[in-house]
Amino acid sequence: MYLVESKGGAIACMLLALFFLGTWPAIMTLLERRGRLPQHTYLDYTLTNLLAAIVIALTFGEIGKGSPEQPNFIAQLSQDNWPSVLFAMAGGVVLSLGNLSTQYAWAFVGLSVTEVITASITVVIGTTLNYFLDDKINRAEILFPGVGCFLIAVCLGSAVHSSNAADNKAKLIELREAGYPSASKEATTNKELKDLENANGTTEKAKAGTADFLVELENRRAIKVFGKSTFVGLAITFFAGVCFSLFSPAFNLATNDQWHTLKEGVPKLVVYTAFFYFSVSCFVLALILNITFLYRPVLDLPRSSFKAYLNDWNGRGWAFLAGLLCGFGNGLQFMGGQAAGYAAADAVQALPLVSTFWGILLFGEYRRSSRRTYILLGSMLFMFIVAVAVLMASSGHRK
């Protein structure tokens, strides 16, 4: 069994995890914006997410010989370690709920802001819990200023969202004044959307950041957001953040048994075994909920069926890639956390830095925005860089 034992190796795991966990949401958002139903996308995603955990367990978890204190993955499956297994599975349940919720929040609140809010809640609650669960192996004088930097970045992110929303509203008002009054009401019918989409009398693709682009996106995407309260998206986002804040402490308890729930002589769960059970529960819950949502959709989505899902190959490869990135990203985060402390591993919650990059590059977020929005955006990204650096500098070494 391979274990990360150096601080440098732990930081390398966290950096890779940061990239992977910041990229898969962009892929999922891309598919929703292209019109693919989120139920179909998430079912594909969850298959490869579980596959990543199995691959990690059967490779890293089986390298070399195990020991009585740290058995290999397969050997540990038959041991009496169910209290720790249940903690791992509980972590998978809350992560599955969080990931499923954010898939809908991205449409209402936007990729960057959704990730910022969920990351902030995760850092404030999850990192604090992990600090005490890890017996304070992280340097508090560095760790908590890092948490503070994250909160500053969150405030800046909220300001970015408000400023950008005001910019978009101004664009739609300008389009209304050009002779399309329904733009001011955020058109809700297909006819209104088509009229707005062709506002300039042309079928050319709208440029990112324009009012035509905003309406064209609404006409194409799977989750319709015009005319709906932003409170719905924010409520979903905050619920997801609370879920995310609990999965890492649950995994921490599963692998380190701080509450001494295992019988004497039973070894603690190794990170690979815990990650396997974690991913299995994540998979089962996602399967149940998304098959239910096929027939009983939420947020006014069209009804689908399992047969329709099986026949929907539009974007399936991208959904599979998103699942692999998320699975390997979570695995790397836990591998780094086992060595350097899960509080420091929560530095990957700076993933909005990556997601914002993809949001700007792929989706044209903040294009043609005001100078105020650009200043706030630059400040937010800078603070995220400071936050991840400070949290990583706080990493200790588990004895």
The total number of structural domains in the chain stands at: 1
**In the 8-state DSSP scheme, what is residue 3?**
-
> Is the Cβ–Cβ distance between 72 and 1 less than 8 Å?
yes
pLDDT tens per residue across span 72-100? 888 888 888 999 999 999 999 999 999 99
Q: What is the pLDDT of residue 44?
A: 97
Distance separating alpha carbons of residues 35 and 40, to the nearest angstrom: 11
Q: What is the pLDDT of residue 292?
A: 95
Q: What is the pLDDT of residue 5?
A: 63
Distance separating alpha carbons of residues 105 and 238, to the nearest angstrom: 9
- Measured CA to CA in angstroms, residue 5 lies from 13, 316, 339, 396 at distances of 11, 37, 6, 11
Distance separating alpha carbons of residues 149 and 365, to the nearest angstrom: 24
Looking at residues 8-17, what average pLDDT do you find? 77
Given a cut of 60, whether residue 181 has pLDDT beyond it is no
Given a cut of 90, whether residue 324 has pLDDT beyond it is yes
Name which residue leads in pLDDT, 315 or 122. Answer: 315
Q: What is the pLDDT of residue 140?
A: 67
Q: Which of 25, 9, 82, 51 is nearest to 261 (CA)?
A: 82
Percent of the chain, pLDDT > 90? 28
Looking at residues 281-298, what average pLDDT do you find? 95
Q: What is the pLDDT of residue 70?
A: 77
Q: Which residue has the tokens 């192996």?
A: 137
Q: Which of 281, 276, 325, 355 is nearest to 16 (CA)?
A: 325
Q: What is the pLDDT of residue 312?
A: 95
- Tell me if 199 is assigned to some domain: no
Given a cut of 90, whether residue 215 has pLDDT beyond it is no
> Is the Cβ–Cβ distance between 211 and 175 less than 8 Å?
yes
Looking at residues 332-347, what average pLDDT do you find? 62
Range with the poorest average pLDDT among 6-10, 239-243, 270-274:
6-10
pLDDT tens per residue across span 115-168? 878 887 887 787 778 777 766 655 667 777 877 887 787 788 777 777 877 787
Given a cut of 70, whether residue 50 has pLDDT beyond it is yes
Q: What is the pLDDT of residue 197?
A: 41
Q: What is the pLDDT of residue 288?
A: 96
Most confident of 18-22, 179-183, 186-190: 18-22
Q: Which of 218, 205, 334 is nearest to 276 (CA)?
A: 334
Q: What is the pLDDT of residue 291?
A: 95
Q: What is the pLDDT of residue 222?
A: 92
Distance separating alpha carbons of residues 101 and 117, to the nearest angstrom: 13
Q: Which of 91, 117, 131 is nearest to 344 (CA)?
A: 131
Q: ∠ at Cα 349 (343, 355), nearest 5°?
A: 165
Q: 301 is in which domain, residue-wise?
A: 23-178+206-394
Given a cut of 50, whether residue 195 has pLDDT beyond it is no
Range with the poorest average pLDDT among 48-52, 79-83, 167-171, 258-262:
167-171
Distance separating alpha carbons of residues 333 and 214, to the nearest angstrom: 36
- Tell me if 344 is assigned to some domain: yes
Given a cut of 90, whether residue 331 has pLDDT beyond it is no
**Residue ranges in 110-257 assigned as alpha helix (H):** 111-121, 128-133, 140-177, 190-197, 211-220, 230-256
Q: What is the pLDDT of residue 190?
A: 43
Q: Which residue has the tokens 């936050």?
A: 387
Given a cut of 50, whether residue 193 has pLDDT beyond it is no
Number of neighbouring beta carbons within 10 Å of residue 61? 25
Q: What is the pLDDT of residue 370?
A: 86
Most confident of 30-44, 53-67, 99-113: 30-44
Q: What is the pLDDT of residue 53?
A: 92
Looking at residues 4-22, what average pLDDT do you find? 77
Please provide the size of the chain in residues. 399
Confidence of residue 330 (pLDDT cuts 50, 70, 90): confident
